[in-house]
Amino acid sequence: MGLTKIQVTLNVYATSFERLAKDVITNLFIRKWIQIEKENVVSVEDSMLPEIIRIQSEGFGTKNQNGVKRYSKRMKKIFYVIKS
């Protein structure tokens, strides 16, 4: 295995570990999160994901659906949308 390939592999692992560490730390901070009732703010439900992904794709030009799906599962306590 060449040095370039080893470096690329290490960068991929480092990026994945960083993302995992951020997710774990965020979950620790929000364990006692309390939702404040607002008229148009609702928790995300699985049935809303296709529409959220479509809006994200149109607004930000991203095609990656995995991020939204991953955070909707991991961050249910703080993943909200505003309905209008």
84: Cβ contacts below 8 Å, ≥ 6 apart: 40
pLDDT of 1 strictly over 80 = no
Render pLDDT for 51-76 as a digit per residue (tens, 0 to 9).
Answer: 988 888 888 877 777 778 887 887 77
Q: How confident is the model at residue 12 (pLDDT cuts 50, 70, 90)?
A: confident
The DSSP line for 8-60 is HHHHHHHHHHHHHHHHHHHHHHTTT--PPP-SSEEE--GGGHHHHHHHHHHHH
Q: How many residues does the chain have?
A: 84
* Three-state secondary-structure class, residue 3: helix
pLDDT of 17 strictly over 60 = yes
pTM of the model: 0.52
Bridge partners, residue 80, by sequence: 43
